[in-house]
Amino acid sequence: MDDPSIGIELERELNGTQRTAVMALLTASAIATNYLLIGVVNVKLMDVIVFTSGYLLGARSGAAVGVLTWLVYGTLNPYGFSLPVLGATALGETLYGAAGGALRGQLGSVGWRPDARLAVVGFLLTFTYDIMTNIVSAYTAGVPLAVAMVGGVPFAVAHEFSNAAFFSLGFPPLANSLTKVFEQYA
């Protein structure tokens, strides 16, 4: 579907129960892919799923999907649990959902094919997210901020470029196919 208003229409067409079900479905997908990619540090499909949630359901719902995903993944995580880091990651993840909702009008038609604009969006959102979470992680771990920021560059770069690829290649078919599915039930 090439209509720029697909998200807005879908948001309007879903009732409260359906919206909750879709949010739960997307949250579950984000959590499942996180555990699936647990061994690949900083390469996750979660961010594009949360962004898609915002795009399809609106900024607030997208942000909620981000927070819910982190509440599960950040609590039951083999790398350990840290409340400040969980707070930062959950808050940071809301960026993706909020941006998905906010950029619906700006992006216009996304089509099915890879979209370079989404690579830019994915990169910049992830850069912001990484800065924020690195600052909180540095203070939590008692590591000097400069050391944490510089030492985190390889991980941040992996995160940013993988998200650029996922947003560019994955978002258009994901958003369009979900829209088609939801249209059947809305």
Q: Where does this chain bind another protein (CB under 8 A)? A: 116-117, 119-120, 123-124, 127, 149-150, 153-154, 156-157, 160-161, 164
> Which CB sits closer to another protein, 141 or 153?
153
Nearer to another protein, 45 or 156 (CB): 156
Q: Please state the closest distance from residue 68 (CB atom) to another protein, in A.
A: 29
Minimum distance, C-beta of residue 150 to another protein, in the bound complex (Å): 5
Locate 136 and state its tokens: 């909180």
C-beta closer to another protein: residue 66 or 152: 152
End-to-end CA distance of the chain: 16
Q: Residue holding tokens 């799923």? A: 49
Smaller CB distance to another protein: residue 111 or 154? Answer: 154
Q: Which residues contact 49 (CB under 8 A, 6 or more apart)?
A: 26, 29, 30, 33, 65, 69, 174
Question: Which pair of tokens denotes residue 108?
Answer: 């216009």
- Nearest-angstrom CA–CA distance, 151 and 167: 25
Q: Residue 177 Cβ, how far from another protein at the closest point, in Å?
A: 25
